């Protein structure tokens, strides 16, 4: 990380901010030895906050596709249920349905 003196930082403040953006931060050192870090503020946006796309597919079609896919995998989703001492445990699920002639897995 680049270290600037206080007077250099004052004189080159705009370029210092640009360098902090590119490199993640810069240090500014005062005459008395105190050191300060200037760094860009982290984005507060969610990584799931992405722009939508125009698919020209109706909501009903999307819901139908999701339901069809759920039926293909046995209609099972990962669900939580209470376990010993009230702890939450994940219920096991199959990724795909077993063939009709496959032996059952009873315990």
Distance (Å) of CA 51 to CA 18, 22, 58, 60, 75: 27, 25, 18, 21, 30
Answer whether residue 107 shows pLDDT above 50.
no
Nearest-angstrom CA–CA distance, 26 and 49: 29
Distance (Å) of CA 41 to CA 17, 20, 25, 91, 98: 11, 10, 10, 41, 51
> Using alpha carbons only, how large is the chain's radius of gyration in Å?
28
User: For the chain, which domains are there?
Assistant: 3-38 (3.40.1620)
pLDDT tens digits, one per residue of 52-90: 888 888 989 989 999 998 888 775 555 555 555 555 555
Nearest-angstrom CA–CA distance, 6 and 101: 78
Whole-model pTM: value is: 0.42
pLDDT tens digits, one per residue of 32-58: 999 999 999 887 888 888 888 888 889
Backbone φ and ψ of 95, nearest 5°: -75, -30
DSSP H helices, the chain, are 6-11, 13-23, 59-72
């Amino acid at each position: 990380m680049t270290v600037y003196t206080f007077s250099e930082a004052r004189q080159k403040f705009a370029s210092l901010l640009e360098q902090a953006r590119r490199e993640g931060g810069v240090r500014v050192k005062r005459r008395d030895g105190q050191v300060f870090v200037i760094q860009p503020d982290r984005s507060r946006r969610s990584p799931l906050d992405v722009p939508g796309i125009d698919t020209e597919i109706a909501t009903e079609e999307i819901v139908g596709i999701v339901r069809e896919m759920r039926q293909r995998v046995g209609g099972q989703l990962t669900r939580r249920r209470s376990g010993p001492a009230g702890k939450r445990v994940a219920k096991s699920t199959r990724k795909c349905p077993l063939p009709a002639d496959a032996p059952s897995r009873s315990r």
